[in-house]
Amino acid sequence: MTARDTDWDGVRLHVVTGKGGTGKTTVAAALALALAHAGRRVLLIEAEGRQGIARLFDRPPLPYEERKIAIGPGEARDGRDPGGDVYALAIDPEGALLDYLQMFYGMRSAGVALTRLGMVDFATTIAPGLSDVLVTGKATEATRRKQAGSPTGFAYDAVVLDAPPTGRIGRFLNVSAEVSGLAKVGPIRSHADSVANVIKSPQTAVHFVCTLEEMPVQETLDGIAELRAVPGMQVGGIVINMTRPAVLSRQELKAQPDLPAMASALGAAGLYDPDSLAAALAGEISEHARYIELADRERSELEAAGQPVYELPLIAEGIDLAALHKLAAELRDQGAA
Amino acid sequence: MSPYQENTVNPRLDIDRIIDDRRSRIIVCCGSGGVGKTTTAAAIGLRAAERGRQVCVLTVDPARRLAQSMGLTSLDNTPRLVDGIDDEADGSLHAMMLDMKRTFDEVVEAHADPARAAQILANPFYQSLSSSFSGTQEYMAMEKLGQLRRSDEWDLIVVDTPPSRSALDFLDAPERLGRFLDGRLIKVLTAPMKASRPFGRVLNAGLSVMTGALTKLLGGQVLRDAQTFITAFDTMFGGFRERADATYRLLQAPGTSFLVIATPEPDALREASYFVERLDEERMPLAGLILNRVHGAGVSRLSAASSLAAAETLEAAGPHGGVAADSPAGYSLAAAALRLHAERMNLGERERRVAGSFMSAHPAVPVIEVPALPEDVHDLAGLRHVGRAFAGSQPAELDRLWSTTS
């Protein structure tokens, strides 16, 4: 254990949501890596069956099984931090149903028969709320799972859930409301209630991944408002993803560029046709200035939401394991983990 | 010439040819979430209307300000006339947002007698099915499309598809409910009610084990609700299936064009590849790919590497390093501009690589690129601006497209 405080001490289930295209899965994976230090065990769960986690870690498609996929960073400076382990699990409603039947009723074979009969198709078609309960149920089960011999008594120190997109998150997490219309009493209902007890508790935080564009920002703010309206639900941090570096200061961006001076510098650097190059680069600067201005506006809207905000840079080369570690280090430095 | 296409053989997608061809009756925009489907659909609709078509844009869950730009304020299932378009060519633009639940209710009311319809509408399973997010939305979007097409009030309908969890959801939607209600589980669930049928008795012994398991899992009340719902639904089911089949055939028919929308990002293009392959499998008329939010190269003659090297030279030498300079500010500004340029070239290079691999995997798919805009579109002027990127130069081969798919 490190003595360092993070913004989410006490949180054991990190739910990560975000609008499509904002890099939700990447951020969930980076967060899992960031949490996996000092010998901690972290489980990274993919809820929507896209196999995005396997691709990120360059692995073959994940089965419905918890397996180790990465080792978290050790803090090498003192040599005492051995790093941690990241396990991954791709949940599908079918596997979750079998698990549920096995765990609560010892009826795995009946479950297999139900699956063959189309039980899962039934659940996802007629009542997607039921399959959401199965998926969130698996995540909360892993969060609560005990393990003898572990320092904390828990099998995992943290669970990170790569959840459905922002537009669906309220419904996805508000399982008891979703199910109560269907089942007023009975086993599914009590299962939903126990899942809700974990989700609507201080051990769970819902983080939003966002980019500095109008629509994702609006969806994030709407999503935060939606979750705040649910008693007990804890809104987590806002992760601004894919930000571009500020190469020029705000002042330099605002100023009219001195073209002759720029051209003479470009010429001194040995570049061909410095005058037209300076004009073209000035055009790029003013375009960039416009982008920064809009991004600043969106950023202040996000900050006004009053949640901790983290920023992750755009990695132009694309995301690989090295990039994930870099993003994880950013999250650690900024106090997210 | 667009930055990505110079080295590929993909034909250029000519959207103007599609919207100007009076035989075009339906344009379906599909793609993963966050790629600009709704904006694209609206821009195509506006452009078609301003080129003389009577257009209806059917949209699912648009961003608030985009909806406002088309005068849409509520989900009311009624196409509204969009004001402020250029109607010199005698075109018109209507837009509507899908009210999924109401569309479903209407289908139920059309297929069942009033008493049974009331029973279905009140059932908790129906309420969950009709207001839930996945599957139903796709199915109802297709249902509404069929209705609009049959009404014949518009000569071009542009529809944007829901942000499905996967590409499959949308194409499978029309058939899925059908397959599902025909499934074995349904037979198990409804078996007790049909026990008087000859085969029902024989099967019943084995089935009671199953219903026992289901009762344990779901609870008796849930099972009873499910059984009531399915039995009530069963009677109107034939009509449902027919409608789904008719919509499916409508999508395959000449007059329909599918546009796949993506951004030059690996996830979006992977989903786009999937769509392209799936549409091909289903013999759906794919017109091409719209690649949104492409970052232009700017000064493309200066590579990222040379740009960075020059920036480093300037930073190392500096105005005090002996290199003649008129102003120190010129040095730091030039160095920063070069770094900015290098970053932009790197981004462009990455996009080119990602888009290039899609194109080499699908060399026959026509492609058009739409440059990234600094701001989201939220008025007609913005939509018109996007539409200008669609202006074409090469003939699209609609005859070929439609002759191979029908």
Distance of CA B351 to the CA centre of its chain: 22
Quick check: A287 and B374 CB within 8 A?
Answer: yes
Residues of A in contact with B262 (CB under 8 A): none
Pick the range with the lowest mean pLDDT from A125-129, A212-216, A260-264, B109-113. A125-129
According to the model, what pLDDT value does residue A188 have?
A: 77
**Selected residue of A55, A100, A115, A126 to mutate for chain B interface (largest B Cβ count, 10 A):** A126
According to the model, what pLDDT value does residue B307 have?
A: 93
Comparing alpha-carbon positions, the chain B residue that sits nearest to A280 is B299
The total of other beta-carbon atoms located within 10 Å of residue A293's CB is 13
CB-CB contact of A91 with A100 (8 Å): no
| Dist. CA A208–CA A216, nearest whole Å | 10
Domains by residue range for chain A, with CATH: 13-247+299-333 (3.40.50.300)
Residue B396 above 70 pLDDT? no
Largest CA distance in chain A: 80
According to the model, what pLDDT value does residue B383 have?
A: 92
What does DSSP say about strands B54-59 and B26-30: parallel, antiparallel, or unpaired?
A: unpaired
According to the model, what pLDDT value does residue A115 have?
A: 73
Question: Which residue ranges make up each domain of chain B?
Answer: 15-170+251-298+355-405, 304-351
| Dist. CA A183–CA A130, nearest whole Å | 10
Q: What is the mean pLDDT of residues A260-288?
A: 91
B74's CB contacts (< 8 A; 6+ apart) are B97
DSSP character at residue B55: E
Say whether residue A126 is in contact with chain B using an 8 A CB cutoff: yes
| Dist. CA B144–CA B101, nearest whole Å | 12
Give me the residue from B132, B222, B331 closest to A128, CB to CB.
B132
Give me the residue from A121, A188, A280 closest to B299, CB to CB.
A280
Calculated CA dihedral for residues B300, B305, B311, B312, nearest 10 degrees: -170
Distance of CA B193 to the CA centre of its chain: 41
Pick the range with the lowest mean pLDDT from A11-15, A195-199, A256-260. A256-260
Comparing alpha-carbon positions, the chain B residue that sits nearest to A22 is B34
Alpha-carbon distance B152 to nearest alpha carbon in chain A (angstroms): 32
Quick check: A188 and B217 CB within 8 A?
Answer: yes
Comparing alpha-carbon positions, the chain A residue that sits nearest to B322 is A268
According to the model, what pLDDT value does residue B245 have?
A: 77
Pick the range with the lowest mean pLDDT from A54-68, B4-18, B261-275. B4-18
What does DSSP say about strands B92-97 and B80-81: parallel, antiparallel, or unpaired?
A: antiparallel
According to the model, what pLDDT value does residue B364 have?
A: 93
Pick the range with the lowest mean pLDDT from A9-13, A315-319, B319-323. B319-323
Q: What confidence tens digit (pLDDT) does each residue in B215-250 have?
A: 766 667 777 787 777 777 777 666 767 777 788 888
| Dist. CA B398–CA B406, nearest whole Å | 12
Q: What confidence tens digit (pLDDT) does each residue in B181-216 have?
A: 666 666 666 665 554 444 444 445 555 666 676 676
Work out the pLDDT band at A176, boundaries 50, 70, 90: confident
CA separation (Å) from B400 to B78, B259, B280, B321, B363? 35, 16, 14, 66, 16
Closest CA to A210 of A176, A235, A232, A180: A235
What does DSSP say about strands A309-313 and A235-243: parallel, antiparallel, or unpaired?
A: parallel
Most confident listed range (B119-123, B183-187, B397-401): B119-123
CB-CB contact of B14 with B394 (8 Å): yes
- Better-scored residue on pLDDT, A134 or A208: A208
Residue A77 above 80 pLDDT? no
Percentage of chain B surpassing pLDDT 90? Answer: 32
Quick check: A189 and B216 CB within 8 A?
Answer: no
Quick check: B180 and A118 CB within 8 A?
Answer: yes
- Better-scored residue on pLDDT, B361 or B126: B361
Say whether residue A54 is in contact with chain B using an 8 A CB cutoff: no
Give me the residue from A127, A248, A277 closest to B129, CB to CB.
A127
According to the model, what pLDDT value does residue B92 have?
A: 96
Percentage of chain A surpassing pLDDT 90? Answer: 55
Whole-model pTM: value is: 0.85
Quick check: A185 and B219 CB within 8 A?
Answer: yes
Residue B401 above 90 pLDDT? no
Q: What is the mean pLDDT of residues A233-256?
A: 90
According to the model, what pLDDT value does residue A209 have?
A: 98
| Dist. CA B244–CA B103, nearest whole Å | 14
Q: What confidence tens digit (pLDDT) does each residue in B21-65 have?
A: 999 999 999 888 788 888 999 999 999 999 999 999 998 877 776
CB-CB contact of B320 with B286 (8 Å): no
Residue A36 above 70 pLDDT? yes
Comparing alpha-carbon positions, the chain B residue that sits nearest to A316 is B347
Matching CATH number, B15-170+251-298+355-405, of 3.40.50.300, 1.10.167.10, 3.30.300.10, 3.30.360.10? 3.40.50.300
Give me the residue from A19, A282, A287 closest to B33, CB to CB.
A19
Work out the pLDDT band at B3, boundaries 50, 70, 90: very low
Comparing alpha-carbon positions, the chain B residue that sits nearest to A115 is B185
